[in-house]
Amino acid sequence: MPFVRFTGFEKNVVETAAPAIIECISGIANIPEEIVKIELLHVEKITNSPRSVEIFMFPREEEKHHAIAENINRILENLGCPHTHIFYVLLNPSLYYKEGQPLKRIPAKTPPEIRL
């Protein structure tokens, strides 16, 4: 968690962008990189739909959401994918379950150990 879901992208673009996006989200949201999940959705368009990135995550300060979206947009534009729609689906931590049990705390990065 969070889940970042791409729609309307070629697989190679998502694979190329994934490391930078994971690093971006991890750094801004202060979460371990290994919990950021990247998915490519294959959908059948019925009407004209833009490329999109859905970010399912717990609420953060608005500035952090803006920073993540701006960075993802920049990464995708640099890979030749302008005009991407990016939006959040904000999850309620008290209604998020792992193995049927409610989440007790939101994971955060562990600060590096300081050795003297």
What is the predicted pLDDT for the residue at 22? 98
**pTM for this model (two decimals):** 0.88
Distance CA 116, CA 51 (A): 50
All domains of the chain in start order, with CATH:
1-51+58-100 (3.30.429.10)
pLDDT of res. 1: 81
Compute mean pLDDT per 10 residues along the chain, 116 residues long, and list them.
Answer: 95 98 97 96 92 96 98 98 97 89 79 58
